[in-house]
Chain A
Amino acid sequence: MNIIKQTLTNMRQQPLLTGLTIAGTALSICLIMIVMMTREAQIIDYGCEPYRSRTLYATKMILKMKNGGYSSGSMQMKPIRELFAKLKSPERIALFSPMISSVNVNMQGRDNVQAKAKAVNAAFFNVFPMKFIEGRAFTQEECNSNMPIAIISQKTCRDIFGQDKDLKGRTFLIENHEYRVAGIVEDVSPLLTSAYSEIWVPVSTVPGVAHPLGNTVNPEYSMRVALLAKSSADFSKIKNETERALAAYNKSISPDTLDLMEQPDIQEMYVNREWSNKAPDLTEIHLHYALIFAILLIVPAINIASMTQSRLRQRKEEIGIRRAFGARRSTILMQTVTESLLHTLASGLAGLLLCFAVCFMLGNYIFPYSTFEEITDKQLDADILFSPEIYGWALLFCLLLNLLSNIVPAWRASRSNIVEALK
């Protein structure tokens, strides 16, 4: 208690030094949390993508021709129908078009509104469960019967109809084609890139370039598959079945061959799969993160070490007095370590608050895949804004670094000559 009281007094008495030490560590924690948050926003289970940890994805493919040529690009409907749709081991198989640009929607006789639309199958709403305000998701039967129905977000309802309730069964136009409202869902955060859209229509109603959505997406040539496993333990089972199915599929398209490039992917591979002809190197990505963290942590650690050294030099006399009156070296060391802990805790709290402030103010620039959408505070889900695990690790790392940067100066101070210290 005495040590804590004294540490607080020391902190008050040296506002500049204390401020700089806390600010340095707080900034470090804040940056680590932001970096981790941007990563977590893509990976962890949250919002209406709660099963990411037990979902596998296939989004790209290479078709290798007999003559040595090849064509790489987005996953096409043919292999989805003939390969993925036949898999038995996944619990659900969701199909969805990748993010597409805006389409014109309107209510008869009213002005056009721009909205994002996505072509999906019925299982999509099982893999990416949304909060229905009204109505329900469409069934596979409705999908199969090419029924022109749509699920709409609350915001888009307001844009089109001027209201977001009592709209089930109402009709509206997508690029002048009539659709009926089957359900209204809460707005989905654009950070949830698989689930995100403003209007979801059955993939069967989007047959190709002739269709309204065909201007921007042709599901025949650009779709994604999400395979929901019972648990991540089933991943190898699904992958093995996919390999067998691929072999059979390749036999059917011989002499051409389809290359899935190690797909289906786990979430982390999926979000990092940028190129259609190359699988991402997760080791390289992890090393990249490790390097960022090392820089974020080492710079303030050096700063803190030099500040501790300077603070202990100023407190040389106090250390001498304490040792004269019976403090052991280990006690002095312990006191410095306690101070370090208090500094880190204060920095941790400041870092967390700073991180929240930065996320709310600069969300648009920080989060990936969000450049086309404004990130509002409502869309920054609490699950990604505060992950106790990330915060705990960031705090622990800073604590360790603070300790490491404090121990050497503290150890030197504890071994200093008492008589010299009291001169």
Chain B
Amino acid sequence: MIELKEIGKVFRTSEIETVALDNVNIKINKGEFVAVMGPSGCGKSTLLNIIGMLDKPTSGTVTINGTSGEGMKDSEMAAFRNSTIGFIFQSFHLIQSLNVIDNVEMPLLYAGMSAKERRKRAEEVLRQVGMSHRMRHMPSQLSGGQCQRVAIARAMACNPEIILADEPTGNLDSKMSAEIMQLLLDLNEKEGRTIVMVTHNEQQARQAHRIIRFFDGRQVE
């Protein structure tokens, strides 16, 4: 389902060159829950960005469901992200000027759905994450855990096969973290979604099917 071949990523400035990923080869199967671990700055998030086609690798190829990101136009990449990948971020990244339901509807807007369909789907996923009672609230009126639930609902809105979560519980307390983790496990087990989760939490990582460990841009396990 996800295949990374000889992926390299180098960040260049006028003075220095930083190797973020070096010859990374990973295969992730459909329906797999993979945890990515490693110390800060080892390239975990860069890997996630490349899988999510938010960033391009300096070398190597990324293939998702048989589609290679190489040579894809910006508009093609945007459409691919919209239909295939859902993102969950550590700092939620909800749009502050939109209320909960509008935040969840946002990816559906780019999918070209009608207003009625969008509203129906957004209500459905918000119910699924237990946030249907906060649909008209603004993000600033929610707790961290609630924000992350909304972010998960947004990630699920377009019914993507793959969910990429970058430290989804990094900003939450232990109780909230456990609830969010359970939501992700449910998405994987009950709905068969492929999940790639970057985490620093060993206990959470152990709940995944597989752990990929990184050090200095290289896959060490």
Partner-B contacts on A (CB < 8 A): 1-2, 5-6, 9-10, 13, 317-318, 320-331, 417-419, 422
In the complex, which of the residues B55, B78, B107 has the most CB atoms of chain A within 10 Å of its own CB atom? B78
Known contacts: A1-B115, A324-B87, A328-B74. The answer to whether A6 contacts B98 by CB under 8 A is yes
B55 and A327 contacting across the interface, CB-CB below 8 Å: no
Interchain nearest-CB distance for A5 vs B (Å): 7
A163–B104 alpha-carbon span in the complex (Å): 73
In the complex, which of the residues A1, A320, A324 has the most CB atoms of chain B within 10 Å of its own CB atom? A324
A2 and B105 contacting across the interface, CB-CB below 8 Å: yes
**A-B pairs with the 5 shortest C-beta distances?**
A326-B82, A326-B110, A325-B107, A9-B97, A418-B54
Known contacts: A6-B97, A318-B97. The answer to whether A323 contacts B78 by CB under 8 A is yes
B78 and A321 contacting across the interface, CB-CB below 8 Å: no
- A419 surroundings in chain B (CB, below 8 A): 49, 54-55
Of chain A, the residue at the smallest CB distance from B151 is: A321
A1–B157 alpha-carbon span in the complex (Å): 19
A327 and B78 contacting across the interface, CB-CB below 8 Å: yes
Of chain B, the residue at the smallest CB distance from A332 is: B78
Interchain nearest-CB distance for A21 vs B (Å): 16
A2 and B54 contacting across the interface, CB-CB below 8 Å: no
Partner-A contacts on B (CB < 8 A): 49, 52, 54-55, 74-75, 78-79, 81-83, 87, 89, 93-98, 102, 105-107, 109-111, 115, 154, 158
Interchain nearest-CB distance for B115 vs A (Å): 7
Contact of B102 among A5, A321, A328 (CB under 8 A): A5
- B158 surroundings in chain A (CB, below 8 A): 326
B78 and A317 contacting across the interface, CB-CB below 8 Å: no
B97 and A324 contacting across the interface, CB-CB below 8 Å: no
- B102 surroundings in chain A (CB, below 8 A): 2, 5-6
B97 and A13 contacting across the interface, CB-CB below 8 Å: yes
B154 and A325 contacting across the interface, CB-CB below 8 Å: yes
B81 and A325 contacting across the interface, CB-CB below 8 Å: yes
B81 and A324 contacting across the interface, CB-CB below 8 Å: yes
- B115 surroundings in chain A (CB, below 8 A): 1
A10 and B110 contacting across the interface, CB-CB below 8 Å: no
Interchain nearest-CB distance for A342 vs B (Å): 14
A329 and B74 contacting across the interface, CB-CB below 8 Å: yes
Interchain nearest-CB distance for B104 vs A (Å): 10
Interchain nearest-CB distance for A311 vs B (Å): 12
Besides the known contacts A6-B102, A324-B52, A329-B78, 20 further A-B residue pairs in the complex with CB atoms under 8 A apart? A2-B109, A5-B102, A6-B95, A9-B98, A10-B97, A13-B97, A320-B93, A324-B54, A325-B107, A326-B107, A326-B110, A326-B111, A326-B158, A328-B78, A329-B75, A331-B110, A417-B55, A419-B54, A422-B54, A422-B93
- B82 surroundings in chain A (CB, below 8 A): 325-326
User: Can you give 18 contacting A-B residue pairs, CB < 8 Å?
Assistant: A2-B106, A5-B102, A6-B95, A6-B98, A6-B102, A10-B97, A317-B93, A318-B95, A322-B110, A324-B93, A325-B81, A325-B110, A326-B79, A326-B107, A328-B78, A328-B110, A329-B75, A419-B55
- B97 surroundings in chain A (CB, below 8 A): 6, 9-10, 13, 318
A328–B87 alpha-carbon span in the complex (Å): 16
A247–B106 alpha-carbon span in the complex (Å): 79
- A324 surroundings in chain B (CB, below 8 A): 52, 54, 81, 87, 93
- B87 surroundings in chain A (CB, below 8 A): 324-325
- A5 surroundings in chain B (CB, below 8 A): 102
Interchain nearest-CB distance for A333 vs B (Å): 12
B81 and A326 contacting across the interface, CB-CB below 8 Å: yes
Contact of B106 among A13, A325, A417 (CB under 8 A): A325
Interchain nearest-CB distance for B138 vs A (Å): 9
Interchain nearest-CB distance for A198 vs B (Å): 60
Of chain B, the residue at the smallest CB distance from A329 is: B74
Contact of A328 among B75, B96, B107 (CB under 8 A): B75
Contact of B89 among A9, A329, A422 (CB under 8 A): A422
Known contacts: A321-B95, A418-B54, A419-B54. The answer to whether A327 contacts B110 by CB under 8 A is yes
A202–B214 alpha-carbon span in the complex (Å): 104
A320–B78 alpha-carbon span in the complex (Å): 12
- A10 surroundings in chain B (CB, below 8 A): 97
Of chain A, the residue at the smallest CB distance from B49 is: A419
A326–B87 alpha-carbon span in the complex (Å): 11
A2–B49 alpha-carbon span in the complex (Å): 27
Contact of A330 among B75, B96, B107, B154 (CB under 8 A): B75
Of chain A, the residue at the smallest CB distance from B99 is: A9
A322–B52 alpha-carbon span in the complex (Å): 14
Of chain B, the residue at the smallest CB distance from A320 is: B93
A87–B78 alpha-carbon span in the complex (Å): 75
Of chain B, the residue at the smallest CB distance from A14 is: B97
Of chain B, the residue at the smallest CB distance from A1 is: B115
A150–B98 alpha-carbon span in the complex (Å): 71
In the complex, which of the residues B82, B87, B97 has the most CB atoms of chain A within 10 Å of its own CB atom? B97
Interchain nearest-CB distance for B143 vs A (Å): 20
A326–B107 alpha-carbon span in the complex (Å): 6
